[in-house]
């Protein structure tokens, strides 16, 4: 049976969840998917770096105590030597799940570039490298005969990108719009019930929906990155964040939202991209008061949804979880499945 050795760059919630899935469901996955998954490298800010070509004992890693590092293990070091591990690991797939940097995409872009240059395929949930370096990185992947996959960079485990490229094949997609940030969507829902913005954000933080610094969610910069990805991937644009106008929800008051509800409308933070009359693509992020008949108006809580405007089917809407460790880990798994399919196709061509 075919096997994929993987390197986990970052061992926070998402990559830990992927490792747990491999540990718990490895045999079943092998039966279902036709290939075995084996983790051969891990890097982490807290734990350090670990490379074991014969496979890492994940049960042992999960049993490590607070303060313990990989330094005491064969192939281990106390420091997270990310780029060294990426270039020298025996893995054929690198899973990049470090933090998103909306300014320059680093260190994620460098991690992905190093892996592709080393002849390794990459899957990432990191929006930064995709939105800010996607064109370059996809070209680099093609030049090295590997693939760069990033399904989880937009709507977590909900397969928006693959849905558009595979399920909607044969349709012309003229526009795409969506609720792409679960935190802001939850906050707007609470404000509709009369809460202030600050109180709603505090509640979202208490529930784990919002970070300690919720600026990227509330001011729309998180959605801005995702809109760049959607516009470039689905509409064939070549946008940067500078091309996407942005307004967040901080300008809205609870009174604005309650008044909209009285008029049969509901505010949502919408990220959109559409083909304009000049033949280009216009993209923006803004709070919009949608009529209740709009397919995105009924999306509540931390759920995300994307609507595609097509020539033959009209509007097609897909909704699902926009966050969550296990849900996002599934996106990584779906990318690994796509990488396996690509490798098998290449092997058939070569034979």
Query: Which residues, at least 6 apart from 82, have a Cβ–Cβ distance to it below 8 Å?
Result: 9, 43, 49, 98, 107, 111
Whether 127 sits among the annotated catalytic residues: the reply is no
Q: In Å, how far are 103, 170, 228, 330 from 225, measured between CA atoms?
A: 10, 27, 5, 21
- State how far the Cα of 3 lies from the Cα of 11, in Å rounded to an integer: 22
Catalytic residue among 120, 127, 226, 268: 226
Q: Are 62 and 90 in contact (CB under 8 A)?
A: no
Instruction: Name the packing angle between helices 182-192 and 254-262 (round to 10°).
Output: 70
Torsion-angle region of 260 (φ positive above 0: left; ψ -120 to 50: alpha; else: beta):
alpha
- State how far the Cα of 57 lies from the Cα of 145, in Å rounded to an integer: 30
Q: Where are the beta strands (DSSP E) in 47-147?
A: 48-51, 76-77, 93-96, 121-124
Q: In Å, how far are 137, 140, 152, 188, 309 from 29, measured between CA atoms?
A: 29, 30, 19, 39, 35
- State how far the Cα of 179 lies from the Cα of 288, in Å rounded to an integer: 11
Nearest to 338 by CA among 51, 164, 93, 30: 93
- State how far the Cα of 204 lies from the Cα of 211, in Å rounded to an integer: 9
Among all residues, which ones are annotated catalytic?
226
């Amino acid at each position: 049976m075919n096997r994929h050795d993987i390197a986990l760059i970052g061992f926070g919630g998402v990559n830990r969840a992927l490792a747990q899935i491999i540990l718990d469901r490895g045999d079943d996955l092998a039966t279902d998917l036709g290939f075995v998954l084996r983790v051969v490298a891990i890097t982490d800010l807290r734990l350090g770096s670990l490379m074991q070509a014969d496979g890492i004992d994940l049960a042992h890693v999960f049993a490590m105590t607070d303060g313990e590092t990989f330094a005491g293990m064969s192939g281990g070091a106390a420091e997270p030597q990310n780029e060294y591990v990426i270039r020298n690991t025996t893995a054929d797939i690198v899973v990049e799940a470090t933090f998103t940097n909306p300014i320059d995409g680093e260190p994620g872009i460098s991690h992905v570039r190093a892996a592709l240059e080393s002849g390794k395929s990459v899957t990432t949930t990191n929006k930064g490298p995709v939105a800010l370096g996607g064109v370059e990185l996809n070209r680099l992947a093609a030049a090295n005969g590997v693939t760069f996959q990033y399904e989880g960079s937009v709507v977590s485990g909900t397969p928006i990108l693959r849905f558009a490229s595979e399920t909607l094949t044969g349709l012309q997609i003229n526009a795409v719009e969506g609720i792409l940030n679960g935190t802001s969507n939850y906050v707007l829902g609470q404000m509709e019930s009369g809460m202030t913005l600050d109180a709603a954000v505090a509640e979202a933080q208490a529930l784990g929906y919002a970070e300690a610094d919720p600026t990227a969610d509330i001011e729309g910069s998180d959605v801005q990155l995702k809109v760049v990805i959607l516009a470039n991937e689905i509409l064939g644009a070549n946008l940067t964040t500078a091309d996407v106008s942005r307004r967040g929800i901080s300008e809205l008051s609870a009174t604005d939202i309650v008044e909209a509800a009285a008029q049969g409308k509901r505010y949502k933070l919408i990220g959109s991209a559409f083909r304009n009359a000049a033949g280009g693509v216009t993209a923006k992020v803004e709070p919009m008061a949608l009529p209740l008949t709009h397919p995105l108006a009924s999306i509540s809580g931390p759920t995300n949804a994307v609507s595609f405007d097509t020539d033959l089917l009209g509007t097609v809407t897909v909704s699902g979880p926009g966050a969550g460790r296990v849900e996002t880990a599934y996106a990584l798994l779906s990318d690994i499945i796509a990488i396996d399919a690509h490798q098998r196709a290449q092997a058939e061509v070569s034979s």
